[in-house]
């Protein structure tokens, strides 16, 4: 018998043998926890991981390590503990896990990180008076700020009616009923108390002061941005009074002045938190992202425009929604004449903004809306007050920078 014929012919591999082993995403344990912030953190992050398709812990560790913006750098065992039990873990590590999970499943990273930060801060916050405090009947709570000297943020809308990073203040206690928008008489020193801003800056300053850093110069550099933000926050009241006076002099209505003050306060507060490295806020130099973050728009839907008052009176730059300009018939007519045939509406708008220049091409109602809702609040936060153009009627030309 031929030796070749006697040799066994190998069977072709089966489909099962061809198939590479599939590693199923591992579902983490979810132990029972008492009701409280730790369980809330765990449930939030656990559900985010499930929604993201259960990314492997090693993968999450690599994503965090590769993101230079994150202060935390947890290893996979710490990530497991955070997702499965909500900690205990360092705040920066929990924020890092929250951010990469939010990005992995398309959730709002700012909202998720803000929520986690609030919950983590409440870990160490007692739910009631301590035994020593409850037994001391002679101690009295500190008196609240005088009502007529404080504008308290009464709403931070989370519904579809308004963006989540716009503040709404009660200006009557701050400026007085008659003084608020008629601005008669003398407005004395005003203090603006914004709970999120004040609480976080105070807590962050204490946290950084506790760092064990022997080099005084290094420690000063670490404390400097928070101290500067705290100092600027204490000047908010007088600055807003000045803005209210200028808006009244520019013949804005009561409703418009309220909008200007609310949005200017929002832009200032978000900018101060950003400059002090509050997690979840855009970098202070990324003005486009900050405008989108504050006003509730996608950054791609905003256009940066320059506005010029002419005759050496200066100008300002600001990000404004393209949708308002798209509804200006005269402006779009110019874009249609200048842009190639069959151009998109956005392309026609850009051509118009490159060439139109005369601000009168934007209707009066749209001019005022742009100024009260977008341009003036940004200018108030970005420029020295003497350089701020308060009235939209002062603008002669506009266009792409």
Weakest mean pLDDT among 73-87, 102-116, 171-185, 257-271: 171-185
Res 123: pLDDT: 59
Res 387: pLDDT: 85
What count of other Cβ atoms lies within 10 Å of the Cβ of residue 171? 22
> Does the pLDDT of residue 328 top 70, yes or no?
yes
Tens digits of per-residue pLDDT, 187-215? 555 667 777 788 888 888 988 888 888 88
According to DSSP H, which parts of 52-108 are helical?
A: 57-65, 76-85, 91-104
Higher pLDDT, 284 or 175: 284
Six token digits for residue 120: 């983590």
According to DSSP H, which parts of 145-277 are helical?
A: 171-175, 177-182, 195-209, 216-233, 236-249, 254-275
Residue 356 makes CB contacts below 8 A (sequence gap 6+) with: 331, 334, 398, 399
Six token digits for residue 50: 């499930």
**Mean pLDDT across 143-165:** 46
Tens digits of per-residue pLDDT, 333-355? 888 888 888 888 888 888 888 88
> Does the pLDDT of residue 302 top 90, yes or no?
yes
Average pLDDT, the chain: 77
Higher pLDDT, 20 or 260: 260
Tens digits of per-residue pLDDT, 353-364? 888 788 888 888
| Contact in structure between 60 and 101 (CB atoms under 8 Å) | yes
Higher pLDDT, 310 or 332: 332
How large a percentage of the chain has pLDDT more than 90? Answer: 9
Higher pLDDT, 243 or 280: 243
Q: Packing angle between helix 287-295 and helix 254-275, nearest 10 degrees? A: 130
Give 304's pLDDT tier (boundaries 50, 70, 90): very high
Weakest mean pLDDT among 52-61, 64-73, 283-292, 323-332: 64-73
Res 35: pLDDT: 82
The torsion defined by the Cα of 110, 112, 117 and 118, in degrees rounded to 10, comes to: 110
Res 69: pLDDT: 63
Residue 294 has what DSSP assignment?
H
Give 319's pLDDT tier (boundaries 50, 70, 90): very high
Give 173's pLDDT tier (boundaries 50, 70, 90): low
Give 312's pLDDT tier (boundaries 50, 70, 90): low
Weakest mean pLDDT among 40-54, 163-177, 304-318: 163-177
Six token digits for residue 58: 């090693």
| Contact in structure between 399 and 354 (CB atoms under 8 Å) | yes
How large a percentage of the chain has pLDDT more than 70? Answer: 76
CA pair distance 296, 164, nearest whole angstrom: 7
């Amino acid at each position: 018998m031929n030796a070749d014929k006697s040799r066994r012919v190998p069977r072709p591999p089966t489909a099962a043998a061809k198939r590479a082993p599939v590693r199923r995403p591992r579902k983490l344990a979810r132990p029972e926890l008492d009701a409280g912030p730790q369980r809330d953190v765990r449930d939030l992050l656990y559900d985010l991981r499930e929604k993201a398709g259960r990314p492997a812990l090693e993968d999450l560790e690599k994503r965090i390590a590769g993101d230079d913006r994150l202060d935390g750098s947890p290893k996979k065992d710490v990530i497991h503990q955070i997702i499965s039990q909500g900690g205990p873990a360092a705040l920066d590590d929990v924020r890092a896990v929250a951010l990469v999970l939010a990005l992995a499943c398309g959730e709002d990273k700012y909202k998720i990180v803000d929520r986690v930060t609030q919950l983590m801060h409440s870990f160490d916050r007692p739910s009631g008076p301590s035994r020593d405090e409850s037994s001391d009947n002679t101690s009295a709570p500190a008196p609240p700020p005088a009502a007529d000297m404080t504008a308290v943020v009464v709403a931070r809308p989370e519904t579809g009616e308004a963006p989540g990073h716009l503040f709404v203040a009660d200006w009557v206690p701050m400026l007085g009923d008659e003084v608020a928008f008629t601005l008669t008489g003398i407005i004395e020193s005003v203090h603006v108390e914004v709970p999120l801003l004040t609480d976080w800056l105070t807590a962050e300053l204490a946290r950084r002061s506790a760092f064990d850093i022997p080099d005084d110069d290094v420690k000063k550099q670490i404390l400097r941005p928070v101290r500067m933000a705290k100092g600027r926050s204490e000047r908010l009241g007088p600055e807003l009074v000045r803005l209210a006076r200028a808006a009244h002099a520019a013949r804005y209505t009561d409703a418009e002045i309220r909008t200007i003050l609310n949005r200017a306060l929002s832009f200032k507060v978000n900018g101060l938190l950003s400059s002090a490295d509050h997690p979840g806020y855009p970098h202070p130099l990324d003005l486009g992202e900050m405008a989108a973050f504050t006003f509730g728009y996608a950054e791609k839907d905003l256009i940066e425009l320059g506005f010029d008052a002419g005759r050496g009176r200066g100008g300002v730059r600001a990000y404004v929604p393209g949708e308002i300009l798209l509804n200006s018939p005269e402006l779009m007519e110019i874009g249609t004449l200048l842009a190639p045939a069959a151009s998109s509406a956005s392309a026609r708008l850009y051509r118009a903004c490159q060439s139109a220049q005369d601000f009168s091409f934007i209707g009066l109602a749209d001019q005022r809306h742009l100024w009260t809702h977008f341009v003036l609040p940004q200018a108030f936060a970005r420029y020295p007050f003497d350089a701020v153009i308060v009235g939209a009627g002062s603008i002669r030309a506009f266009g792409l920078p």
